[in-house]
Amino acid sequence: MPSQNIQWFPGHMAKTRRLITESLGLVDIVIELLDARSPRSSKNPEIDRLIGQKPRLTLLTKASLADAAVTARWVAAMPDSLAVDVVTGEGVKAIAPAVRRILAEKLKRYADRGMEGRTVKAMIVGIPNVGKSSLVNKLSGGKKAKVENRPGVTLTKQWVTTQSGIDLLDMPGVLWPKFDDRKIGERLAFTGAIRDAILDTEELGSLLCAELYARHAELFCARYKLDRAALEGFKPFELLEAVAKKRGFRLSGGDFDTARAADMVLDEFREAKIGRITLDDPDEDPILSETSPKKGAKGSQRRPASPSECEKSEEEEAQTAGRCPSDAESVETGPAPAREETGDGPTAPSPREESSDA
């Protein structure tokens, strides 16, 4: 087990929380992105507090990397949610209609006031590397948001227009200051939401091997040609050693190169080469099972804004309309940290653009 809980909350994330609150009056709806492989772990618990009663659409991104059956169960359990994937195109065309369905009452009021066809404004929020910038680029039909194969690239908000009549306010990825559940920190690290450069990837790879063996043993053993029964009782590091041995990863002195094996397992999990795996199960989520109504059940929709709230929001939007540019503003990015090389070096980074944004 790790010597301490995984944590990552750089200064720009505190700024992002303020940006979300300050910019809320500029938008009609919030689009919250969760990683389909870890919907519970990738849900920032502070988002609910930050956006209050603002209408929300939840997107489970990177759906092609997750177990399709489990994703369907998550979507069924969460109101106003869709599974999407910018690489395969799954669910992308359903986003604009879903936004308009959620905002139907507000759009009708606009139409009654002679403002039919008014551009809808949506804020995109989520943790780092969940696919926000990739989704923005997909919806806008161009590369207007910077995308790289690491978290923490987008460091400021940016407006982007789309062809569907929706202006998107792309916010930097934001985590929360402390992960009370150790598993959440680990799963965020497994999926690449936390920079590998600040982690002990050998230890992380060991923990991932243990998670895969415990919950997806058939896929794990098939990928690395391991005897499932022979691994019974193995500790996390011993499982990683077994992978290194099977792949023939050795250092010059003859020891197994577990660092190289850890990089390989992490990369292959993130690219779904081990299989389409979901780490979080909706049946094991106490908050979801106890408090979240099933889709279609009475009370499943979030409370709509009151007329006074809507009028206030519309007045704010009218006052700030000039602050929404017709194209993406410049994106500030920090220097790209080099991934720590261990052993014979890590495997090549994932070519999947969809899995690499702030």
**Checking DSSP bridges between strand 158-161 and strand 166-170, what pairing results, if any?**
antiparallel
Alpha-carbon distance of 91 to 41, in angstroms, equals 22
Q: What pLDDT score was predicted for residue 298?
A: 39
CATH of domain 11-176+281-321: 3.40.50.300
Q: What pLDDT score was predicted for residue 65?
A: 97
The pTM of the full predicted model, rounded to 2 decimals, is 0.77
Alpha-carbon distance of 357 to 349, in angstroms, equals 13
| CA–centroid distance for 52 within its chain | 20
Q: Report long-range pairs for 68-77 (Cβ below 8 Å, ≥24 apart).
A: 68/276, 70/278, 70/281, 70/282, 71/36, 71/278, 73/282, 73/283, 74/36, 74/39, 74/282, 75/295, 76/294, 76/295, 77/282, 77/288, 77/292, 77/294, 77/295
Alpha-carbon distance of 37 to 33, in angstroms, equals 12
Q: Is the CB of residue 126 less than 8 Å from the CB of residue 30? A: no
β-partners of residue 173 are none
Q: Which of 97, 100, 98 is nearest to 110 (CA)?
A: 100
Which segments of 113-148 does DSSP mark as H helices, in order?
Answer: 132-140
Q: What pLDDT score was predicted for residue 9?
A: 53
Length of the chain: 358
3-state SS, residue 198: helix
Q: Is the CB of residue 352 less than 8 Å from the CB of residue 147? A: no
Q: What pLDDT score was predicted for residue 156?
A: 67
Q: Is the CB of residue 103 less than 8 Å from the CB of residue 120? A: yes
Backbone angles phi, psi at 189, to 5 degrees: -70, -40
Q: What is the pLDDT of residues 18-74, one digit of tens each?
A: 889 999 999 999 999 999 999 999 999 989 999 999 999 999 999 999 999 999 999
Ranges under pLDDT 70 in the chain: 1-13, 143-156, 286-358
Instruction: Tell me the DSSP string of 108-165.
Output: HHHHHTT-TTPPEEEEEEESTTSSHHHHHHHHHTS--S---SSS----S-EEEE-TTS
Q: What pLDDT score was predicted for residue 251?
A: 95
Alpha-carbon distance of 313 to 310, in angstroms, equals 5
Instruction: Tell me the DSSP string of 329-345.
Output: PP----PPPPPPP-TT-
The domain ranges of the chain are: 11-176+281-321, 192-278
Alpha-carbon distance of 153 to 355, in angstroms, equals 12
Edge-to-edge strands of the sheet including 166-170? 81-83, 56-61, 29-35, 120-126, 166-170, 158-161
What single letter denotes the amino acid at residue 300? S
Domain 192-278 has CATH 1.10.1580.10: yes
Q: What pLDDT score was predicted for residue 217?
A: 97
Q: What pLDDT score was predicted for residue 331?
A: 31
DSSP state of 250: B
3-state SS, residue 57: strand
